[in-house]
Amino acid sequence: MRNPLIGKCFFLIKFIEEWGTGTNRIIKSCLDHGLPEPLFEEISGSLVVTFRKYKISEEVMRELSEKERNIVEFIKEKGQISRQECVSLLNVSPTTAFRYLKSLEKRNIIKRIGKGKKTSDIFWYE
């Protein structure tokens, strides 16, 4: 609550349980439903809460190449992508497909399943 005096009045008349708990409940609810945490910003003296459907903003998507955007859209739809699916989707060689996947992984847009030599070539949207 931005004004503690008003907050105390609301608390005394039992209009609120306590202040500060609503934000945590909003975050928990988003995470429980598989959504990213909302963005809380103060803009021009107002609190602005932005709920996002995906963790990748439109701004980040605009910075990606067309082929990288195709990969992300495929993962959004199917939940994951294998290197072979990426080869078919982009109509490129396995090496080129892997290069696109690694680029997205380095930017923390997708994650690779497994570690080391036993790593599966399956990636999913973070």
- Amino acid, single-letter form, for residue 84: Q
pLDDT digits (tens, 9 = 90+) for 4-37: 788 788 888 877 776 667 788 888 888 887 777 8
How far is it between the farthest Cα atoms of the chain?
67
Contact criterion met (CB below 8 Å) for 47 and 40: yes
30-62 pLDDT per residue, tens: 888 777 788 888 888 788 888 877 667 777 888
Task: Name the pTM for this structure.
Answer: 0.56
Going along the chain from its start, the domains and CATH numbers come out as: 4-50 (no CATH), 58-125 (1.10.10.10)
